[in-house]
């Protein structure tokens, strides 16, 4: 575990020393502040559109940070030859991979804390109340979703030759699941066999990332989710992340790194 945490620490340092996070955070803040300055019928209490725009920016930025940070971890180590002095230490490839995953995940978690704090402050400035429990649940589920995406991107970085290809494929797959994952079963029911079974099988196979998207509940001030539901969703996400990580470890073990 010591090695895993050591590598995770380096990944976190990389995130806050690169400019990506700061650029995205400032962009999000600018967009939200500009939208907040728009006057709609002289009413300064309108807040939900602002929450939606802010959360949309947060989701896009967090996915960009997660996927781009993760997609370049192993390839850039190999390309920059920093992998060799690292693996020449008493460190297994599995520990390296788990360290990279943990580092990316924790780094995204820290980024989410910053983003959600900004979101909370923005919402509270108009709503004058702060549903902390709902925000905590939303942030946690968002973080778990990013864990699945990071594990998937890590696996992709070992399979696809170029980081750009991996990044593109990850974005496409994640967007597909978020937008259409919930509806595949409805489409499947309208198809004849055997396409129905194939699509339904695919529906069960994919990680349903849309389960972690509880933005509508936050935007429209729905009551907090039951903790058992949160727990089950978290376990579901962690299971998929573990599956992707195990696959990645198996691939990495056999891979020639030079």
Partner 1 sequence: MDTLKLPTQKTERSTNGRVPGPHGSDSPPSCASSGAGFSRQAARDPVLETRNLCVTYRGRGTSQPDRQAVKDLTLAVRRGEVFGFLGPNGAGKTTTMNVLLGFINASSGSASLFGTDVREPIARQRIGYLPELTYYYKFLSAEELLRFYARIFKIPRGERSRRIDGVLKLVDLEQARMRQIKTYSKGMQQRVGLAQALINDPELLILDEPTSGLDPIGRMRVREVIQRLKNEGKTVFFSSHELGEVETVCDRVAILHQGELKVEGRVSELARQHQCSLEQLFLKVIGYAARPSN
Partner 2 sequence: MRSARLPLLILIALLVLCCGLAAWLDLWFQGWQGNRAESADLLNVLMGDSRRMFANHFFVKADAYFHSGFYPTVFDNREAFQTPHMAEDSGTVGGRNRGDETGFLGKPRDWIDAFSRQLFPSRHTHLDEGGASGDLGNSSQVREIMPWLRTSAELNPNDIRTYTVSAYWLRERMGKVAEAEQFLREGLRANPDSYEIMYELGRVYSENKHDETHARNLWQAALREWGKQEAPKADPDKFLFVEIASHLALLETKQGNYRQALAYMERWKARSPSPAAVERYIEEVRRKMSSADQTHTDQSSQNPGKAP
DSSP 8-class letter at 183: G
Q: What does the alpha-carbon distance between residue 60 and residue 216 come to, in Å, rounded to a whole number?
A: 16
Cβ-contact 125, 29 below 8 angstroms: no
Q: What does the alpha-carbon distance between residue 2 and residue 68 come to, in Å, rounded to a whole number?
A: 26
169 exposure class (CB count in 10 Å sphere: 0-12, 13-18, 19+):
middle
Choices 91-99, 102-110, 142-150, 218-226 (CB under 8 A): range interacting with partner 2: 218-226
Q: What does the alpha-carbon distance between residue 104 and residue 110 come to, in Å, rounded to a whole number?
A: 10
**Per CB under 8 A, does 14 bind partner 1?**
yes
Nearest distance from C-beta of residue 211 to partner 1, angstroms: 35
CA 8 to chain centre: 17
**Per CB under 8 A, does 91 bind partner 1?**
yes
128-134 long-range contacts, CB within 8 A, separation 24+: 131/218, 131/221, 131/224, 133/224, 134/217, 134/218, 134/222, 134/223, 134/224, 134/225
Nearest distance from C-beta of residue 18 to partner 1, angstroms: 7
**Per CB under 8 A, does 214 bind partner 2?**
yes
**Per CB under 8 A, does 132 bind partner 1?**
no
Closer CB to partner 2, residue 90 or residue 204?
204
**Per CB under 8 A, does 250 bind partner 1?**
no
- Per CB under 8 A, the list member of 37, 42, 161, 258 interacting with partner 1 is 258
- Per CB under 8 A, the list member of 22, 84, 130, 202 interacting with partner 1 is 84
| Residues within window 129-168 making contact with partner 2, judged by CB under 8 A | 141
**Per CB under 8 A, does 257 bind partner 1?**
yes
Closest to 153 (Cα-Cα) out of 219, 192, 209: 209
Q: Which residue has the tokens 């804390």?
A: 113
Closer CB to partner 2, residue 54 or residue 219?
219
**Per CB under 8 A, does 88 bind partner 1?**
yes
Q: Which x/- pattern over 26-65 shows residues binding partner 2 (rule: CB under 8 A)? A: ------------x-xxxx-xxxxx----------------
What is the three-class DSSP state of 137?
helix
**Per CB under 8 A, does 2 bind partner 1?**
yes
Q: What does the alpha-carbon distance between residue 145 and residue 224 come to, in Å, rounded to a whole number?
A: 18
Residues that bind partner 1 (CB under 8 A): 2-3, 6, 9-10, 13-14, 17-18, 80-82, 84-85, 87-92, 256-258
Interface contacts to partner 2, rule CB under 8 A: 38, 40-43, 45-49, 141, 182-183, 185-187, 189, 203-204, 208, 210-214, 216-217, 219-223, 225-226, 229, 232-233
């Amino acid at each position: 575990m010591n090695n895993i945490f050591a590598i995770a620490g380096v990944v976190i340092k990389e995130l806050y020393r690169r400019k990506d996070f700061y650029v995205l955070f400032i962009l999000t803040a600018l967009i939200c502040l500009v939208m907040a300055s728009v006057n709609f019928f002289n009413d300064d209490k309108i807040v939900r559109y602002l929450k939606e725009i802010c959360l949309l920016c947060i989701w896009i930025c967090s996915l960009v940070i997660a996927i781009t940070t993760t997609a370049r971890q192993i390839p850039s180590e190999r390309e920059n030859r920093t992998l060799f002095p690292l693996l020449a230490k008493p460190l297994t490839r599995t520990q390296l991979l788990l360290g990279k995953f943990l580092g990316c995940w924790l780094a995204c978690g820290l980024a989410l804390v910053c983003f959600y704090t900004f979101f909370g402050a923005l919402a509270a400035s108009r709503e004058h109340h702060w549903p902390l429990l709902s925000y905590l649940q939303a942030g946690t589920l968002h973080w778990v979703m990013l864990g699945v995406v990071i594990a998937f991107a890590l696996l992709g970085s070992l399979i696809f030759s170029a980081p750009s290809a991996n990044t593109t494929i990850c974005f496409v797959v994640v967007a597909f699941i978020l937008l259409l994952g919930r509806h595949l079963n409805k489409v499947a029911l309208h198809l004849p066999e055997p396409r129905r079974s194939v699509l339904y099988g695919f529906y069960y196979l994919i990680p349903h990332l849309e389960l972690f998207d509880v933005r509508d509940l936050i935007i429209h001030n729905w009551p907090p989710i039951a903790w058992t539901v949160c727990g089950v969703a978290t376990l579901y996400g962690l299971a998929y992340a573990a599956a992707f990580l195990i696959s990645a470890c198996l691939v990495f073990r056999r891979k020639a790194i030079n």
